[in-house]
């Protein structure tokens, strides 16, 4: 079974609070769909707590009309299928595969015009989500998105000295959807320049990386929460993930409603 930490519980609490708000606000006017694109196996293990229910099974407690769970690992799909079947749900589709591939086709359905609305939870371990997937989600104009952005995986790959191999550069570009990060994530070290040495670079702070992620999301989504939650490892306080929220609906009132709820939940979670 996969492992999670205290930050996993915070993340799930945020998502559940939003799902609770969402179904209450939307159920009378729309058909509702929940998509869990990194669905997992149904549960995971937390140290000192034990087996804990994961995002996909938790979502079933909120009355969406349809649930779509995507998971790459066959063995996880098998376990998730068994868990869903034991709950007797018949409006759940579990798809085995790479979510980037499946999400690339998400806007082939006219969700918006046929009065479907929904929430997508993107919960990768590391840098598995391609930026293009966010673009196609945004084109639906129908889904609100919670994205657990892999802050520590990104900073691990953004070497402090800026010397990054081409393969890693490609992965970061695919994660962020631009090569602009090569200049945005680094600045010339003033210390080195002062002593007349060859100019070296330094990496920007975690706060500036977080602001940049929000700025990137704003290039794609009409509404983005400006207070994403940094989830930290309680042992050493190191940042692990950035829990971001974005709205694909272009209607001003819909954006305001979703952002108000998400901002409130983010502000009151830690
Ligand atoms: C952090 S876990 C998700 C945990 C889950 N949300 C939960 O709360 O139980 C990430 C999951 O995504 C799966 N995964 C990794 N890459 C994927 C991809 N490209 N498409 C779909 N699933 C993927 C992994 O096998 C793993 O089960």
Give the residues surrounding ligand 1 with Cβ less than 6 Å away.
38, 40, 44, 54-55, 70-73, 76, 98-100, 123-125, 128
pLDDT over 60 at 206, yes or no:
yes
Question: Whole-model pTM?
Answer: 0.96
**Angle formed by the axes of helices 131-140 and 166-176, nearest 10°:** 10
- The reported pLDDT for the residue numbered 198 is 62
Cα 37 to averaged position of ligand 1 atoms, centre (Å): 7
Task: Quote the crossing angle between the two packed helices 6-26 and 252-267, to the nearest 10°.
Answer: 150
Nearest CA owner, ligand 1 atom 9 = 54
Nearest CA to ligand 1 atom 12: 38
pLDDT of residue 193: 57
pLDDT (tens digit per residue) in 33-87 = 999 999 999 999 999 899 999 999 999 999 999 999 999 999 999 999 999 999 9
Q: What is the pLDDT of residues 218-231, one digit of tens each?
A: 999 999 999 999 99
Q: Where is mean pLDDT largest: 83-92, 127-136, 180-189?
A: 127-136
User: Domain ranges in the chain?
Assistant: 3-151+206-267
Question: From atom 4 of ligand 1, which residue's Cα is the shortest distance away?
Answer: 40
For the CA of 37, the closest atom of ligand 1 is: 21
Report the C-alpha gap between 63 and 105 in whole angstroms: 25
Ligand 1 atom nearest the C-alpha of 99 is 20
Residue nearest to atom 25 of ligand 1 (CA): 73
What's the CATH code, domain 3-151+206-267?
3.40.50.150
Cβ neighbours around 92 below 10 Å, total: 21
Nearest to 58 by CA among 79, 84, 77, 25: 84
């Amino acid at each position: 079974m996969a492992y999670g930490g205290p930050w996993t519980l915070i993340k799930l609490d945020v998502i559940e609070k939003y799902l609770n708000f969402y179904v209450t606000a939307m159920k009378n006017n729309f058909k509702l769909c929940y998509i869990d694109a990194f669905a997992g196996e149904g549960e995971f293990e937390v140290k000192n707590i034990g087996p804990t229910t994961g995002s996909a099974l938790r979502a079933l407690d909120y009355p969406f009309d349809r649930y779509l769970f995507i998971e790459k690992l066959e063995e996880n799909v098998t376990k998730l299928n068994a868990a869903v079947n034991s709950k007797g749900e018949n409006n759940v589709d579990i798809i085995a595969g790479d979510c980037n591939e499946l999400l690339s086709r998400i806007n082939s359905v006219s969700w918006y015009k046929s009065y479907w609305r929904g929430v997508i939870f993107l919960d990768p371990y590391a840098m598995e989500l391609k930026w293009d997937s966010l673009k196609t989600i945004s084109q639906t104009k129908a889904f609100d998105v919670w994205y657990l952005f892999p802050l520590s995986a990104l900073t691990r790959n953004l070497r402090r000295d800026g010397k990054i191999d081409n393969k890693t550069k490609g992965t970061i570009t695919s994660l962020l959807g631009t090569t602009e990060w090569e200049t945005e994530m680094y600045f010339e070290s003033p210390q080195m320049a002062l002593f007349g040495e060859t100019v070296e670079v330094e990496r920007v702070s975690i706060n500036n990386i977080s602001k940049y992620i929000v700025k990137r999301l704003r290039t794609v989504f009409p509404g983005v929460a400006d207070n994403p939650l940094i989830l930290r490892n309680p042992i050493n306080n190191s940042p692990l993930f950035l829990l971001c929220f974005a709205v694909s609906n272009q209607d001003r009132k819909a954006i305001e409603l979703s952002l108000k709820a998400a901002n409130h939940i983010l502000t009151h979670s830690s």
